[in-house]
Chains A and B, each alone.
Chain A
Amino acid sequence: MRLLLSGKAKCNSHGQDSPYFHGWQEYEKNPYDQTWNPKGIIQMGLAENHALVQFMAEIRGNKVSFDPSKIVLTAGATSANETIIFCLAEAGDAILIPTPYYPGFDRDLKWRTGADIVPIHCASSNGFKITACALQQAYQEAQNRNLKVKGVLITNPSNPLGTTMTRAELDLLMEFIVEKQIHLVSDEIYSGTVFSSPNYTSTMEVLSKYEKAEVWDSVHVVYSLSKDFGLPGFRVGAIYSNNDWVIATATKMSSFGLVSSQTQYFLSSLLSDKKFTKNFISENKKRLKKQHALLVSGLWNAGISCLESNAGLFCWVDMRHLLSSNTFEAEMELWQKIVYDVKLNISPGSSCHCSEPGWFRMCFACMTEEALEVAIRRIKACVESVSGGRDKVLSRQRCTNMNSGKKSFSSWVFRVPIHDREAGMVLRGPDPNYRRSHHDQVEAT
């Protein structure tokens, strides 16, 4: 019997077949708990602010003033992002997004709107920063695909990188959107999670100092209370724009996903307690910083480095040296081991459209300190077992044909294309000597 559903119902644009979501499903089948399931999978794939449950704060913690008539409330940032794209783009149009990016964008921005995403490829060689060249290449790629570019969408602070955008990048973006006469949407959902320097520069701050007035109507901000305050269940999102047509249209569209008045009432009371919100933001950042440091140093002790980051609820972790080959297949292989054997749900870089294999996003704020320590012990044990097996494999490989083609977990470490590993990237960790000794051992094969 032919099923009479829409193309949208039958297609995969919802993006839920991504490993990003499979990891969650595995977690749900076997979740870690300190007491009743210490061998369960630890949730590191969800970017929740688990560190604080009691809070109040201001809508943004940055240095610009916002006009309340220019905000539209929506049911979460998911709804806000979809709504803004419905306002700006349609089938045949493209939105440029720097990679790696939040996997949910594939659904939120494309599925029902019909718009397309064209990636702006960012590389580890410069810490994944946006370059003028990458912007132009993305624009060209869209044109090659007969897509009309309607705007650029950034996440600042970045998910999954955990970094704040530099002033230089923001200026570059402004120049670009003026040149191309397109929009800029800045998803600032993590704006309250900047826990160390450099200080956060929001898009609106840069815009307010921008001379060319026409750009004011082309810059829009998306926000939510889900990350900064850890209230994802309450579905509180917002669109902010100086463009009154966008605000008028988005307001009409918000009927499809309004915020529950019960929740609005509660939060307006919470947020108007300025003393509390100030204290909350500062305490939250302290706890994020501590948890972040725990993860980074724990990983470092296991021979794993991270992109230097100062915001967000996650780290962008470099596990390229653990890949059996510099391929996305190897990345998936490693990811499966980590989810099923090591029992950590982390997100593979490919699900975030990263152009380089071997990067993973690990969330640190959705668990207790104890759970984080367990996670780190598991990773360390895993890497140590690799190192422990290394000597035996080394002697075996001296006697056997190197092109046997047989892959095993323990032999991965010997086929690392590490020549580009450190180029231009800042590594975090207490003992730089570790890297050198690690290099030496691998190069000895």
Chain B
Amino acid sequence: MEFASEKKREILSSIARNDGHGEHSPYFDGWKAYDRNPFHPTQNPDGVIQMGLAENQLSFDLIEEWIKNNPTASICTPAGVGKFKDVANFQDYHGLMEFRQAVAKFMGRVRRGKATFDPNHVVMSGGATGASETLIFCLANPGDAFLVPSPYYPAFDRDIRWRTGVRLIPVPCDSSNNFQVTLAQMESAYTKAIEANINVKGVILTNPSNPLGITLSKETLTSLLSFTFEKNLHMVCDEIYSATVFNSPAFTSISEVMQETECNPDLVHIIYSLSKDLGLPGFRVGIIYSYNDQVVNCARKMSSFGLVSSQSQHLLASMLSDEVFVKKFLEESSRRLAKRYSRFVEGLKQEGIHCLEGNAGLFFWMDLRHLLKEPTHDAEMELWRVIIKDVKLNVSPGSSFHCTEPGFFRVCFANMDDHTVEVALKRIKEFVSNAMEVAMLRNTGERGISA
């Protein structure tokens, strides 16, 4: 049976046979644990609570209300079905003009008018997943490398590397300066790569950061942009969480920094999506925004491999053009994210658990170093298994984000209701008091003092 299975595998490509898809990471193991035993307040109150999925589920009611009030935006309503034929037939990879215009306007609005976007530079893709891969296909060849500050989003290993053959070189950040990436760290990583004969093509930043939940400062962005300009490298900014900033400092986009810093616009590219800001991951709306015409042309051709459904383009063109709705949504969504974040962080503080001070994203970066048996990744994984199995919370271990410092975990807070938040906090409270007891016993045992 095993031999037959191996034979089935042998006839595949090396991409199909390798582990480049990255799904053996604990990041995904936790999801699988959740899938096997998902929490439900009444049907499965002892199930695993999903805190490993960065989804924004706090503001659906606003979108639902809009949809009810705008039946022509849907081609499946009597009011909107007149457009069905044109929309269903539309497969032009430029995308509906009104969709591109709406996205460009929305992106400008999220940046509080500090940058404007040209609809002709908006290229669709199959979610940010598709956008990331496509952009890299346009910028780099197999064997080329991109520098990326760690901890970073685990799926970059798949999206940036798997089918493109491109490499990722982490630029490790740590708690000594709240995980801020510095120019010195970037330069050091770059130099090491060059000395190892690696062809570095660019830098990838996620701003706001996943998993840290913080925005990059204007100073950091400026220094890094200058660095890439000086070395003739691409600057790729994944701004997928740009509208999830809920506290100061306000979001600074690379599109803003470009206007005030010497750079080569042909080297600057933004990855965007509506999955996080609007909470619509199912609609697969990925965007590549490049200031380089050739990249726009190439990415547009490649977008054939992952166009956004015209049905979704049509709906979103209408929604995002509604300035009143957009203003209300952005304000309210930020408010709700701030409230939810605050509830969790305060709740954890009461149990002696600290988090990196965050101001954006759908998660926080939790510090559990004091609960580790020892400051190692093995100990982190051991703790993580306990959290999944016994505490029944799917949180994501820092090592899955390539964090070099053991003991940090990413915890998502925006994908559950208020009741589930309280259940999660209660479980953490119980776990922490048990863990502290165990730690105390261990310490007294080590010191040879009877308990």
Contact = CB atoms under 8 A, between A and B. Distances in A.
Interface of A: 1, 3-9, 14, 16, 48, 50, 53-54, 75-76, 78-79, 82, 86-90, 93, 107-108, 111-112, 150, 181, 183, 214, 217-218, 226, 230-235, 243-246, 249, 252-253, 255-263, 266
A245 B8 contact: yes
Nearest to A254: B126
Interface string B82-126: 001101111100000000000000000000000000000000001
Contact of B89 (A48, A243, A256, A257): A48
B14 interface: yes
A252 B23 contact: yes
A422 B304 CA distance: 39
A257 B88 contact: no
A231 B163 CA distance: 29
Contacts of A231: 88-89
B342 interface: no
A232 B91 contact: yes
A111 B16 CA distance: 17
Interface residues of B, number: 60
Nearest to B93: A78
Contacts of A260: 282-284, 308-309, 311-312
Nearest to A3: B294
B163 A183 contact: no
A409 to B, nearest CB: 33
Contacts of A214: 7
B315 A243 contact: no
A9 B304 contact: no
A100 B121 CA distance: 36
Contacts of A4: 139, 201, 232-234, 267
A259 B305 contact: no
Nearest to A112: B137
Interface of B: 5, 7-9, 11-16, 21, 23, 76, 84-85, 87-91, 126-127, 129-130, 133, 137-141, 144, 158-159, 163, 201, 232-234, 264, 266-267, 282-284, 292, 294-295, 298, 301-302, 304-312, 315
Contact of B304 (A78, A87, A88): A78
Contact of B91 (A1, A16, A226): A226
A75 B16 contact: no
Given A53-B85, A75-B126, A245-B16, 14 more contacts: A4-B139, A4-B234, A5-B138, A5-B295, A8-B137, A14-B302, A76-B307, A82-B305, A86-B16, A232-B91, A235-B306, A252-B23, A262-B311, A263-B311
Nearest to A260: B309
A218 B309 contact: no
B139 A9 contact: yes
Contacts of A5: 138-139, 294-295, 298
Given A79-B305, A245-B9, A261 B283 contact: yes
A262 B284 CA distance: 10
Contact of A266 (B76, B126, B295): B76
A6 B8 contact: no
Given A16-B301, A86-B15, A107-B304, A7 B309 contact: no
B12 to A, nearest CB: 6
Nearest to B306: A257
Contacts of A93: 13
B387 to A, nearest CB: 26
Contacts of B85: 53
B311 A266 contact: yes
